Copies of this chain bind each other. A is one copy, B any other.
Amino acid sequence: MQKMAATPPRFDQQFRNQFRQLLEWRRDVRRFDTRPLPDGLVDELLDIANLSPSVGLSQPWRFIMVDDVERRAQVTADFEQCNRAALEQFSGARAARYASLKLAGLREAPVQIATFVDVNPDQGHGLGQTTMPETLHYSSVLAIYSLWLAARTHGVGLGWVSILNPGVVKGICEVPDHWQFIAYLCLGYPLEEHTEPELQLSGWETRRSLGNKVIRR
């Protein structure tokens, strides 16, 4: 039986302005308050993430809620090792600046979610992946962004940690072989809020307008 069609929403200019504000104030957060998030909020955010687009309707995103103190300590140790190795790629003033950056909130964030992609999902029948199998990974990335923006609508910040060894995180989380690591997410209330990217405030890089990023053919 065909379901009754709901009326499609029409979004007005006020909503568009607020949506733009949401993106402007999103931020990749590394400075968290340690106070916990309200009961049920993370489930609500994950539920919204599950509305994301996925190749062939494969819904290949997999979330590990990392609650265990020992596992969190292992992730932090891996981050610190990777971060020291990354520092060695720089020299002089650039190295000093790198060393001064705070690149993760792993010790403070009350909620931590390791995100994977199932590269052999039980949905989708492989549609859309033949020439571009990486679209599975991209689907997990889209789910993370839904979660990120939804969190921000509640004043909650998210930090995406990629300075990690994927194989190490996979071992810490004890996931199946056919899951691949996408990102380690820290969530919590941010200690500060601003529209400028953290890496811009710290002098690492400056955000640029679109410029040569758009070309006509």
| B-binding residues in A (CB < 8 A) | 3, 5-6, 8-11, 15-16, 18-26, 28, 46-48, 50-53, 55-59, 61-68, 71, 82, 85-86, 89-90, 94, 98, 103, 114, 123-132, 134-135, 137-138, 141-142, 145-146, 148-150, 152-155, 160, 162-166, 172-175, 182-183, 193-197, 199-200, 204-210, 213-217
Smallest beta-carbon distance A133→chain B, Å: 10
Which residues in B have their C-beta under 8 angstroms from that of A67?
Answer: 216-217
A199 contact from B9, B68, B127, B146, Cβ within 8 A: B127
Contacts of A206 in B (CB 8 A): 57, 123
Q: How many copies does the complex hold?
A: 2
Chain B residues closer than 8 Å to A194, beta-carbon distance: 5, 8
User: When the two chains form the complex, which single residue of B50, B85, B145, B217 contacts A66, counting CB atoms closer than 8 Å?
Assistant: B217
Contact A21 B46 (CB under 8 A): no
Bound: A76/B149 CA distance, A: 34
**Is A23 a contact partner of B9 (Cβ separation < 8 A)?**
no
